[in-house]
Structure 1
């Protein structure tokens, strides 16, 4: 019986390592701006096939508009 628990523990450890390894390479750590991270996340979802082309274009355009608007607001605050 102890062999079963040893094998189950090793399998759980291996599964945890695989999950952490995959999570490390997601590429969501882009810039400090939430809008830039959202654009990167949309690109990743499109790359994995979870967003079709039309939905990706619309969502990316909206995120890009918000990103540019936030950049304009930040620039205006720096000038004041």
Structure 2
């Protein structure tokens, strides 16, 4: 699409209708790029949220494990 619009724009001159079409094509292209970027942002945020929750669960699990772990000194003294 970009190559087509560049060829049209580089010509000797274009009609007003064609200029409107080219402008609309660029608007559509920008809209699609923004939509794609927003999708990637949503995906990144979802992955970040999942990673943060997983990390939080891991921290909680490690804390619980350490809390219920029997110290080695108490085993040898009894």
TM-score band by shorter chain is 0.3 to 0.5
Higher helix fraction: Structure 1 or Structure 2? Answer: 2
Q: TM-score, normalised by structure 1?
A: 0.40
Q: TM-score, normalised by structure 2?
A: 0.41
Larger Rg: 2
